[in-house]
């Protein structure tokens, strides 16, 4: 795999922090290519962009074979800086890559965001907000659009709001790193106005609107999908990766007439499906 798909650019800095690095895998073509920007998982506390070459190598192969370039990016962990820092890094990656479109032979109009678990959260959260650019910023990168025209996620959450998790699991306490995610000192502090506002801002479903980009979301958790609240004894690691997140996302997208393909163990992802989905989202022919 490493020999077949060598890095074009490694450890490109998109910020001053040591974690703010990205890798580019460039598709072999003379024409500007679409690009998929991938964010790794790891609960916002560990993981690395190299996962695209290991656990997610099948996606890298599928996209490069389809003629799409791929960017895999690191981001700052919540052990150092809480929400919204990882999300802001996700937006900065998109802006940085778009700023290099001509130099890196990329099509700036055909960007997709992707990721697994925490990375899926970053990809979807940014995508559903549309363009987060700051036209009046003194920083030229901040003036560049953060919008993407398609999203592919797996095992991704659609919220970090504790109130949301209480709607999908009976007697839900909270996922283990949620205090760290918001930088709160206690469960009680999470209920103060400041942290309730942060929780609201973290609720990705709240940003899904009539202009939402198309989404393909898939889940691999081997639990029977059900749209009803999960049992109180369901492990937190399953709750945060459960297909119910995809169900809630599709339900909201369907209400707005936006395209959302939802795959889970009872209706699994098919080989080549992510590339085909992206072709259709970008209006490309095979």
Q: Which residues pair with 24 in a beta bridge?
A: 9, 71
Rounded Cα gap, residues 111 and 97, in angstroms: 10
Q: Pick 9-282's CATH classification: 3.40.50.720, 2.60.410.10, 3.40.50.300, 3.40.50.1820.
A: 3.40.50.1820
pLDDT surpassing 60 at residue 68: yes
Cα-to-chain-centroid distance, residue 114: 5
**CB distance 40 to 7 below 8 Å:** no
Rounded Cα gap, residues 183 and 161, in angstroms: 13
pLDDT surpassing 60 at residue 71: yes
SS (H, E, C) 6-54: CCCEEEEECCCCCCCEEEEECCCCCCCEEEEEEECCCCCCCCCHHHHHC
pTM: 0.96
Rounded Cα gap, residues 200 and 213, in angstroms: 21
- Ranking 49-58, 115-124, 167-176 by mean pLDDT, the lowest is 167-176
Q: How far, in Å, are 172, 229, 248 from residue 167 at the CA level?
A: 8, 7, 11
Question: Is residue 281 helix, strand or coil?
Answer: helix
Tokens standing for 54? 């290991």
Q: Which regions of the chain does DSSP assign to beta strands (E)?
A: 9-13, 21-25, 33-39, 69-73, 106-116, 150-154, 215-218, 260-263
Q: What is the pLDDT of residue 3?
A: 45
Give me the mean pLDDT over the 237-247 stretch.
93
pLDDT surpassing 70 at residue 1: no
Tens digits of per-residue pLDDT, 221-241?
A: 987 777 778 888 888 889 999
Where is pLDDT greater, at 262 or 174?
A: 262
**CB distance 224 to 213 below 8 Å:** no
**Taking CA 240 as the corner, what is the angle to CA 237 and CA 245, rounded to the nearest 5 degrees?**
145
Give me the mean pLDDT over the 66-85 stretch.
98
Give me the mean pLDDT over the 204-212 stretch.
98
Q: What is the pLDDT of residue 4?
A: 67
SS (H, E, C) 226-253: CCCCECCCCCHHHHCCCCHHHHHHHHHH
Give me the mean pLDDT over the 248-254 stretch.
97
pLDDT surpassing 80 at residue 2: no
Residues 6 or more apart from 243 whose CB is under 8 A from it? Answer: 219, 221, 223, 225, 262, 264, 265
Rounded Cα gap, residues 269 and 134, in angstroms: 37
Where is pLDDT greater, at 256 or 232?
A: 256
Q: What is the pLDDT of residue 286?
A: 75
Q: What is the pLDDT of residue 222?
A: 83
Rounded Cα gap, residues 38 and 49, in angstroms: 8
Q: What is the pLDDT of residue 24?
A: 98
Give me the mean pLDDT over the 193-216 stretch.
97
- Ranking 88-92, 186-190, 227-231 by mean pLDDT, the lowest is 227-231
Q: How confident is the model at residue 214 (pLDDT cuts 50, 70, 90)?
A: very high
**Taking CA 88 as the corner, what is the angle to CA 262 and CA 135, rounded to the nearest 5 degrees?**
110
Give me the mean pLDDT over the 34-40 stretch.
98
pLDDT surpassing 80 at residue 97: yes
Q: How far, in Å, are 45, 160, 185 from residue 190 at the CA level?
A: 20, 12, 8
Tens digits of per-residue pLDDT, 107-165?
A: 999 999 999 999 999 999 999 999 999 999 999 999 999 999 999 999 999 999 999 99
């Amino acid at each position: 795999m490493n020999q077949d798909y060598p890095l074009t650019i490694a450890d490109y800095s998109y910020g001053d922090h040591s974690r703010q690095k990205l890798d580019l895998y460039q598709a072999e073509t003379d024409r500007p290519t679409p690009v998929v920007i991938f964010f790794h998982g790891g609960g916002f506390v560990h993981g690395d962009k190299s996962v695209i070459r290991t656990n997610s190598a099948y996606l890298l192969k599928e996209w490069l074979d389809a003629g799409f370039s791929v960017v895999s990016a690191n981001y700052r962990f919540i052990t150092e800086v809480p929400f919204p820092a990882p999300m802001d890094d996700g937006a900065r990656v998109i802006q940085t890559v778009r700023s290099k479109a001509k130099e890196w032979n990329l099509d700036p109009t055909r960007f997709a965001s992707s990721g697994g678990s925490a990375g899926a959260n970053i990809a979807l959260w940014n995508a559903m907000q549309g363009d987060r650019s700051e036209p009046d910023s003194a920083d030229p990168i901040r003036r560049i659009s953060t919008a993407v025209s398609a999203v592919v996620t797996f095992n991704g959450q659609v919220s970090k709001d504790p109130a949301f998790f209480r709607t999908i699991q009976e007697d839900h306490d909270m996922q283990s790193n949620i205090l760290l995610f918001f930088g709160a000192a206690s469960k009680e502090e999470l209920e103060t106005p400041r942290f309730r506002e942060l929780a609201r801002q973290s609720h990705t479903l709240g940003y899904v609107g009539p202009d939402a980009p198309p989404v393909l979301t898939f889940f691999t958790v081997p639990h029977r999908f059900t749209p009803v609240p999960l049992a109180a004894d369901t492990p937190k690691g399953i709750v945060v990766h459960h297909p119910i997140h995809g169900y809630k996302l599709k339900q909201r997208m369907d209400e707005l007439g936006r395209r959302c393909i939802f795959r889970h163990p009872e209706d699994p992802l098919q080989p080549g499906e992510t590339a085909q989905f992206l072709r259709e989202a970008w209006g490309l022919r095979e």
